[in-house]
């Protein structure tokens, strides 16, 4: 549901004012400067290579380049591949990269070591997770027939869910995540939900919906593409069964960076992947004709790891050294609050409408604004150095990555939007 922009919502930051009335551009710029000066995370921007003069608010589609990645990638290509050649599978630890990088990523999604494996795309990992979840559910409670799927999910998730359901004899039932708990019953085998809606930025209740699925005896799979790296997830804390996510958005792993699969420790021995590749075999180099899955999350591996992009991701994750996800979340909310306040001040009334929830408990790390001619408006913003993106038919999306986005960026983006409508 759309929510009109308000600077006086229950948790929104009140719009800046002066003694004589609402704030003007100078006041908002001054406030942005104050907030940036007080920002404990501001120095993290130096860990990224960003074009001069560009406000980059599309990290929810492709994260910025971490500064160390270029040199690390060059070393992988010239030395590890170019000089060591095949020896690097052992000497450069290429072979163990999927689990090693999984353990490095795990704290960002609230997982203990040994439960995350990196590799393949989100779509491939989702297929593994959904079929694996169905097999877990059917083994534990035979006869269940339904797979509940977020009705507003990213299209590929829906395509994969339909295929997984056909393969496992389940029927897909679309559900509004806000009411998914009410839809879970004794016939529900699997539940697939997005932590954050990709179009609106709405944050769904992972803890509550996971508990509801567990109470119903269903196996839950979460898509974390738009939440990992932007806010605390708490997979272990909340008893999530399976989860997938990409690494090229808020985790800044690069275009086409490998995704990840989380298999809770309690499910690993019984997890039956529908893609039993040689890399997930207990003895991959024995070349046995029969498949025996490896122990742990490693059974989620399929084929040869994509080493170049995987090691670029490993370097990119160094940008998180010493960073507290809770602090990132606090800054994200402050940034989006301030951006909404600036939009309300700069943009003429009635020209845009927020489809992103005002309440912090329901907001991810993006702001989506509905407007007429949205495609043309976004093209003009980009031409003026403010990079967001467009989603059909009428949505402007602005992603706020707290590691490198500041309050002056938010103010400039809103001011530029106001100039376009002015």
Domain with CATH 3.90.1150.10 in the chain: 17-67+324-421
Catalytic residue among 248, 262, 400, 404: 248
Annotated catalytic residue, options 298, 397, 412, 415: 397
Sign of CA dihedral 387, 391, 392, 394: negative
Model pTM? Answer: 0.94
What ranges make up the beta strands (E) of 8-81?
17-18, 21-22, 48-49, 55-56, 65-66
Predicted confidence (pLDDT) at residue 215 exceeds the cutoff of 70 = yes
Q: Given pLDDT bands bounded at 50, 70 and 90, which one contains residue 282?
A: very high
pLDDT of residue 160: 98
DSSP class of residue 3 equals B
Say yes or no to pLDDT of 5 above 90.
no
- Catalytic residue selected from 39, 120, 150, 223: 223
Please name the residues in contact with 384: beta carbons below 8 A apart, sequence gap of 6 or more.
416, 419, 420
Question: What's the whole-number mean pLDDT along residues 169-186?
Answer: 97
Instruction: Check pLDDT > 50 for residue 95.
Output: yes
Residue 151 Ramachandran class (φ > 0 left, ψ -120 to 50 alpha, else beta): alpha
| Backbone torsion region of residue 143, taken as left when φ is above 0, otherwise alpha when ψ lies between -120 and 50, otherwise beta | left
Q: Which token pair is 170?
A: 């389940």
For residue 422, what are the contacts with CB-CB under 8 A and spacing of at least 6? 348
Give the relative orientation of helices 307-316 and 97-105 as an angle to the nearest 10 degrees: 30
Q: How far is CA 349 from the centre of its chain?
A: 32
Query: Within its chain, how far is the Cα of 320 from the centroid?
Result: 15
Q: How far is 372 from 236, CA to CA, in rounded Å? A: 43
At the topology level of CATH, where does 17-67+324-421 sit? 3.90.1150
pLDDT above 60 (res 245): yes
Among residues 135, 249, 298, 301, the one annotated as catalytic is: 249
Nearest to 323 by CA among 249, 404, 399: 404
CATH class of 96-304: alpha beta
From residue 118, alpha-carbon distances to 86, 97, 122, 157, 185 in Å are: 21, 8, 10, 19, 33
Concerning whether 248 is annotated as a catalytic residue, the answer is yes
Selected residue with higher pLDDT from 283 and 17: 283
Catalytic residue list contains 398: no
Q: What pLDDT does residue 26 have?
A: 81
Q: Give span(s): CATH 3.40.640.10, the chain.
A: 96-304
Q: Give the residue among 373, 356, 105 at the shortest CA–CA distance from 248.
A: 105
Question: Is residue 104 among the annotated active site residues?
Answer: no
- pLDDT, one tens digit per residue, over 182-213 is 999 999 999 999 999 999 999 999 999 999 99
Active site residue 331: no
Q: Whats the size of the chain, residue-wise?
A: 422
**Which pLDDT belongs to residue 25?**
76
Q: Is 346 a catalytic residue?
A: no
Evaluate if residue 108 carries a pLDDT over 80: yes
Give 65's pLDDT tier (boundaries 50, 70, 90).
Answer: very high
């Amino acid at each position: 549901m759309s929510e009109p922009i308000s600077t006086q919502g229950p948790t929104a930051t009140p719009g800046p004012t002066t003694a004589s009335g609402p704030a003007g551009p100078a006041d908002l710029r001054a406030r942005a400067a104050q907030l940036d000066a007080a920002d404990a995370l501001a120095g993290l921007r130096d860990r990224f290579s960003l074009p001069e003069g560009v406000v980059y608010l599309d990290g929810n589609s492709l994260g910025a380049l971490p500064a160390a990645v270029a040199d690390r990638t060059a070393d992988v290509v010239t030395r590890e591949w170019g000089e060591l050649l095949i020896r690097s599978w052992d000497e450069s630890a290429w072979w163990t990269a999927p689990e090693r990088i999984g353990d490095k990523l795990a704290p960002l999604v609230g997982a203990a070591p040994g439960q995350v494996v990196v590799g393949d795309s989100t779509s491939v990992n989702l297929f593994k997770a959904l079929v694996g979840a169905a097999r877990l559910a059917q083994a534990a409670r035979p006869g269940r027939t339904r797979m509940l799927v977020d009705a507003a999910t990213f299209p590929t998730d829906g395509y994969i869910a339909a295929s997984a359901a056909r393969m496992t004899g389940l029927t897909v039932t679309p559900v509004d995540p806000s009411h998914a708990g009410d839809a879970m019953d004794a016939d529900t085998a699997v539940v697939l939900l997005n932590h954050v809606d990709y179009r609106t930025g709405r944050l769904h209740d992972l803890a509550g919906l996971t508990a509801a699925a567990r109470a119903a005896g269903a196996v839950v799979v979460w898509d974390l593409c738009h939440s990992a790296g932007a806010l605390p997830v708490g997979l272990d804390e909340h008893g999530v069964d399976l989860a997938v996510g990409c690494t090229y958005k808020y985790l800044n792993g690069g275009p086409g960076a490998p995704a990840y699969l989380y298999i809770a420790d309690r499910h690993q021995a019984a997890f039956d992947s529908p893609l039993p590749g040689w890399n997930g075999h207990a003895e991959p180099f024995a070349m046995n004709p029969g498949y025996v899955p490896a122990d742990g999350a490693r059974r989620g591996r399929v084929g040869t790891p994509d080493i170049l992009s995987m090691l670029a991701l490993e370097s990119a994750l160094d940008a998180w050294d010493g960073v507290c996800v809770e602090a990132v979340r606090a800054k994200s909310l402050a940034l989006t609050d301030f951006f909404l306040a600036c939009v309300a001040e700069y943009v003429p009334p009635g020209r845009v409408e927020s489809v992103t929830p005002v309440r912090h408990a329901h907001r991810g790390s993006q702001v989506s604004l509905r407007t007429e001619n949205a495609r043309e408006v976004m093209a003009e913003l980009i031409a003026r150095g403010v990079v967001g993106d467009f989603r059909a038919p009428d949505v402007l999306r602005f992603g706020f990555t707290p590691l490198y986005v500041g309050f002056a960026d938010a103010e400039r983006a809103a001011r530029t939007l106001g100039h376009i409508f002015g």
